[in-house]
Amino acid sequence: CIADHYTFTVKEVPYKKLCSTKKILTVNGQFPGPVLKVYKGDTIYVNVRNRASENITMHWHGVEQPRNPWSDGPEYITQCPIRPGSDFMYKVIFSIEDATVWWHAHSSWTRATVHGPIFVYPRPPKALPFPKPDHEVSLVLGEWWKKDVREVVELFTRTGGDPNVSDALTINGHPGFLYPCSKSDTFKLVVEKGKTYRIRMVNAAMNLILFFAIAKHSLTVVAADGHYTKPLNAAYITISPGQTLDALLHADQNPKRTYHMAARAYHSNPVINFNNSTTVGILHYNDDAKTSSSSKRYPNLPRYNDTRAAFSFFANIKSLYSGQVPVKLSRKIFTTVSINLLSCPNNSCEGPNGSRLAASMSNISFVTPSHVDILKAYYLHLKGVYGTRFPDFPPLFFNFTAQNQPMFLQTPRLATEVKKIEFGEAVEIVIQGTSLTGGGIDHPMHLHGFSFYVVGVGFGNFNASEDPSSYNLYDPPYRNTATVPINGWITIRFVADNPGVWFMHCHFDRHLTWGMNVVFIVKNGRAPNQQILPPPPDLPPCY
């Protein structure tokens, strides 16, 4: 059923996984959290009641929230946190979203367990642009730590080293039978021969890009990040943290057999530890004849470091609609995304050579304010909260992807710098990955408040005189999270028609925590309907 008021009670509940029980943060006791169902263009109200012992905020990932940054959620960017015992009513305005998006907490690493999908439907009598599926399946991929996630964060932020890798990957919260004590904790999908299932997939993992496939069953991708795509038949899927996909599963195989679905990490940098385990789920047909348990049917997934396989999937996604890309640009921005190092007294930290790991955009490691949010500071003209010098000028220029980098480049500037943009500007951003500190890695970059066209992607240093000739200005993917390949670049374009304060960051949470973030402030336009809505009366107080 479709409602317009929801209550999200955030509370700690014990869950048993991988042979041990711990308390996790949940919404309404559910993990993964509840599914929200809306029609395109709906406005819903979600009352978030914090009945846990830590701060919380909620973000509606992929929902543009026109003129309404007040309900966007990132802590100390658009609001101060909802403290334990307090409530805040989020007003979530759906506008251009057509397919699956999601919601998740946006305070420290609380989103590890506080997340759920949002199913968007066309408002009748509008129809889907593909044949109506018989059923829908929510499929949320995640990561599980045996430790309390707060401890994981406390440990790596204190020591300055890499965070502990997770202990399992999960499908709808289930690790699957390849992990200890998880035989009965395995996701199971029962299908009927001849029917079509719309899989609404979310990658809610914290630090891993994932490959996913179902044995013997191909998938037809029909939407990505809440926007329809041209149908794409795929033997496997690549999905970055923050991304969502809608894919049709055709139940057309021998119903007497059991099949497996599986997800595991794609990871381009073998120097960095990562969780290389596999989560599996079971697909079987509701056929009366007993399926033989010996019929193991595992899907083929690309090798963990197969960068070509990972990025050819992304490149094959095309927007359903053509000719929408802004071509007359009014602003071009070039920025780098890097892993960096900061020195520690007596080299006492646990990063390389006793240093502390950091991350940056344009070599500015973003410092999140801790007493007031940037939106409030902007709206009330508070001084001294942020600067407006992103990216630094002149831009730091070097051979971004060279094998050996001069040491001095590894140290970023620590600052809270934003970028101001006029209402209605057509913006292009080139995001260049660098090999600083560890040789480079992929970065799933997410922008709040907008979807953008990914017009170009490539490896090596961006070449401003040659690479634009390869841009797809016809039907590029329209997304809110796009992955910069290891030692490569992407180019995105959007029209800045949503006034507000909008966060951009790497959706690997360790990189976010280290500062791979920036804030765009889109100024008000002249017309009243081009201006930020007034703040809600119950905004959580800052102190």
**Three-state secondary structure call for residue 468:** helix
Minimum CB–partner distance for residue 123 and ligand C2O (Å): 25
Partner in contact with 503, chosen from Cu ion, ligand C2O, none, beta carbon below 5 to 8 Å by kind: ligand C2O
Neighbour tally for 158: CB within 10 Å: 11
The per-residue DSSP string of 2-58 comes to: --SEEEEEEEEEEEEETTEEEEEEEETTBSS-PPEEEETT-EEEEEEEE-SSS-B-E
Hey, which bits of 30-166 come out as E strands?
36-39, 43-50, 58-61, 87-93, 101-105, 115-121, 135-144
Binding mask of the shown chain, residues 411 to 450, with x at each position contacting Cu ion by CB under 5 A: --------------------------------x-------
Q: Given the DSSP bridges, would you call strands 87-93 and 43-50 parallel, antiparallel or unpaired?
A: antiparallel
Minimum CB–partner distance for residue 115 and ligand C2O (Å): 9
CB-based closest residue to ligand C2O: 61
Instruction: Check residue 511 for interaction with ligand C2O (CB under 6 A).
Output: no
Tell which positions 61-120 bind ligand C2O, by CB under 6 A: 61, 74, 104, 106
- If we measure between CA atoms, which residue out of 506, 162, 151 comes closest to residue 341? 162
Figure out which of the listed residues 119, 259, 366, 503 binds ligand C2O, where binding follows CB under 6 A: 503
- If we measure between CA atoms, which residue out of 294, 290, 283 comes closest to residue 193? 283
Instruction: Check residue 446 for interaction with ligand C2O (CB under 6 A).
Output: yes
- If we measure between CA atoms, which residue out of 206, 265, 199 comes closest to residue 234? 199
CA gap 535, 79 in Å, rounded: 10
The per-residue DSSP string of 293-336 comes to: TT---PPP---TT-HHHHHHHHHH--BSS-S-S--S-SEEEEEE
**Three-state secondary structure call for residue 531:** coil
Partner in contact with 506, chosen from ligand C2O, Cu ion, none, beta carbon below 5 to 8 Å by kind: Cu ion
Nearer to ligand C2O, 106 or 479 (CB): 106
DSSP secondary-structure letter at 387? B
Figure out which of the listed residues 257, 479, 505, 511 binds ligand C2O, where binding follows CB under 6 A: 505
Minimum CB–partner distance for residue 510 and Cu ion (Å): 8
Minimum CB–partner distance for residue 37 and ligand C2O (Å): 20
Tell which positions 508-527 bind Cu ion, by CB under 5 A: 508, 511
CB-based closest residue to Cu ion: 506
Nearer to Cu ion, 209 or 283 (CB): 209
Nearer to Cu ion, 111 or 443 (CB): 443
Q: With CB under 5 A as the contact rule, which of the stretches 62-70, 461-469, 501-509, 520-528 interacts with Cu ion?
A: 501-509
**Tokens matching residue 263:** 């997800």
**Tokens matching residue 27:** 């919404």
Nearer to Cu ion, 94 or 514 (CB): 514
Nearer to ligand C2O, 61 or 67 (CB): 61
Tell which positions 19-78 bind Cu ion, by CB under 5 A: none
Minimum CB–partner distance for residue 145 and ligand C2O (Å): 19
Figure out which of the listed residues 33, 142, 160, 242 binds ligand C2O, where binding follows CB under 6 A: 242
CA gap 68, 91 in Å, rounded: 8
Instruction: Check residue 443 for interaction with ligand C2O (CB under 6 A).
Output: no
Tell which positions 10-69 bind ligand C2O, by CB under 6 A: 59, 61
* Residue whose tokens read 């993964």: 32
CA gap 91, 23 in Å, rounded: 29
By CB under 5 A, name the binding residues for Cu ion: 443, 506, 508, 511
By CB under 6 A, name the binding residues for ligand C2O: 59, 61, 74, 104, 106, 242, 446, 448, 503, 505, 507
